[in-house]
Structure 1
Amino acid sequence: MLSVQNIDKSFDSLQVIQDLSFEVKDGEFVAIIGPSGSGKSTLFQLIGGVSSIDKGAILLDGTDIQQKRGTIGYMPQQPCLLPWRTILENVTIVEELQQKPNVELAKEWLAKVGLASFINAYPNELSGGMQQRVSFIRAIVSDKPILCLDEPFSALDEFTRLEMQAWLLSIWEKYRKSILFVTHSIEEALFLADRIIVLSKRPATIKQEIIVPFARPRQEEIRHSETFTALKEQLFMFLKEEKDDAYVD
């Protein structure tokens, strides 16, 4: 379980995060939404050990992971694949850096997501959606207890984005890795997550938490339901309040 406890983070005189606390349980899919500039990416840097917190604690299964890199799986907005490495080599690069590459596991996962015939291909030979699958597999083969996905589908066209959402859910429902998912899309958060955390404007704190009521496995039809529409409107109003407040500060 990931436990973020009363953390603060500032950059010089700019406070980005203030007294922020939440948990992600084992096997839970939690989405984070918030206004632009509210500190979502900074939060991932803190969880991943790239940057240090000013106050509070970040615990993973009870262990303090403050400034400890390599404790989480991470998938950025862009696939960030090295163009001179094959797909298989891109998947194993994190484990290579830790001097324990598991080539067979990487091959197994690439086969599971329909990319077995592309292991010797290069990134420019793959579509955007296929590159995102490779990026996700690179994160998952690291075998970390939680995956942090930072707007992983934001650069994709609408059709590919919907396809990747369904694909991600199919993988998650089978293996139930804990996922913390940052997105700007309210609809994406509602379709994917068990729980949605709404951040306030900077300095970020939790404005609201919503339990998503839809059964698993998720069906596309829920996007057209009255409940989905009502929750989407509710979340939109939460974000609009934060944006409107930002203009009068």
Structure 2
Amino acid sequence: MLEIKALHQSFGEVDVLRDVTFTVNEGEFVAILGPSGSGKSTLFQLIGGILAPKSGAILLHQRPINGEKGHMSYMPQQASLLPWRTVLQNVVLGQEIQGKANKEEAKQWLARVGLASFEEAYPIELSGGMKQRVTFIRALLSDRELLCLDEPFSALDEFTRLEMQTWLLSVWEKHRRSVLFVTHSIEEAIYLADKIVVLTKRPATVKQVINVPFARPRQEALLATTEFIALKQQLFTLIKEEKA
């Protein structure tokens, strides 16, 4: 579905991405993993059309979309909810911009994620995990085929983060949108993804693409298995090489 081909991006004299190539297939969950400053967020800006690459191609269903906006749903690191809008109003914001808000559908999704009683609440009244659920539903209700998640759980404590990861998987299993997920957490990448794209340090290129061998649906018990720990160590070694 999405093809990134020989993508290059620089800012002035600083090369950020160099010859980045990978694919995201229909309904696939792909994690982007790499050292800090390796251009992961820049990659999202390119896919989202906020930036145009210096060279290379971004293809959606084999059609070039370099510099074009509106082809992906986006969930940022912070919840980024508008404080003067209620939960329901925040959820339908993306649909409002597209001119087709569906409050009944939004209410159904809020009920599915345990937030039916918070429709008229304001963001200040929500916990961190609840805010992230609202932000995710807002992105999910956009009719875009590709969902880009930029470290959405990085600000959460360990237990809430695991709860949100498991929740995300349960929703994704039913919806099966194509997902591109940026994270600094090796464990999170393995637990969530079908495929992990490992980037080098800046200027980033693709060091290795690893197919995650674990069947779905995934349970928390997977985190303690020998196979999971071995893959975690393999990825840790790959990224540690880039910090040397």
Q: How does 1:192-203 map to 2 (within 5 A)?
A: 192-203=192-203
- For 2:169, the aligned partner's letter is L
Count how many residue pairs are aligned between Structure 1 and Structure 2: 244
Post-superposition shift, 1:67?
Answer: 1.6
SS in 1 for 2:154: coil
Q: In 2, Cα distance between the equivalents of 1:35 and 1:179? A: 20
Matched with 1:9 is 9
- For 1:45, the aligned partner's letter is Q
Per-residue CA distance 1:166-209 (angstroms, 9 max, x = gap): 00000011111111001000001011111111000011100011
Matched with 2:78 is 78
Post-superposition shift, 1:104?
Answer: 2.0
Matched with 2:99 is 99
SS in 2 for 1:36: coil
Identity %: 64
Matched with 1:161 is 161
SS in 2 for 1:4: strand
Post-superposition shift, 1:100?
Answer: 2.2
Q: In 1, Cα distance between the equivalents of 2:183 and 2:84? A: 30
Query: Which shifted more, 11-20 or 105-114?
Result: 105-114
Matched with 1:143 is 143
Post-superposition shift, 1:64?
Answer: 2.0
Q: In 2, Cα distance between the equivalents of 1:224 and 1:117? A: 35
Post-superposition shift, 1:232?
Answer: 0.6
Q: In 2, Cα distance between the equivalents of 1:106 and 1:67? A: 30
Deviating beyond 3 angstroms after TM superposition, the runs of 4 or more aligned structure 1 residues are none
**Unaligned ranges ≥5, structure 2:** none
Q: In 2, Cα distance between the equivalents of 1:143 and 1:172? A: 15
Matched with 2:188 is 188
Q: In 1, Cα distance between the equivalents of 2:85 and 2:7? A: 38
SS in 2 for 1:231: helix
Instruction: Verify: 1:37 aligned to 2:24, yes or no.
Output: no
Query: Which shifted more, 86-95 or 149-158?
Result: 86-95
Q: In 2, Cα distance between the equivalents of 1:216 and 1:11? A: 40
Query: Which shifted more, 86-95 or 18-27?
Result: 86-95
Matched with 1:60 is 60
- For 2:71, the aligned partner's letter is T
Q: In 1, Cα distance between the equivalents of 2:65 and 2:138? A: 21
Matched with 2:90 is 90
Q: In 2, Cα distance between the equivalents of 1:129 and 1:227? A: 29
SS in 2 for 1:49: coil
- For 1:110, the aligned partner's letter is L
Matched with 2:18 is 18
Post-superposition shift, 1:70?
Answer: 1.7
**Unaligned ranges ≥5, structure 1:** 245-249
Q: TM-score, normalised by structure 2?
A: 0.98
- For 2:92, the aligned partner's letter is T
Q: In 1, Cα distance between the equivalents of 2:105 and 2:69? A: 22
Post-superposition shift, 1:63?
Answer: 2.4
Q: How does 1:93-242 map to 2 (within 5 A)?
A: 93-242=93-242
- For 2:199, the aligned partner's letter is L
Per-residue CA distance 1:109-168 (angstroms, 9 max, x = gap): 112211111111100111100000000011010021010000000000011000000000
Matched with 1:247 is none
- For 1:142, the aligned partner's letter is S
- For 2:101, the aligned partner's letter is P
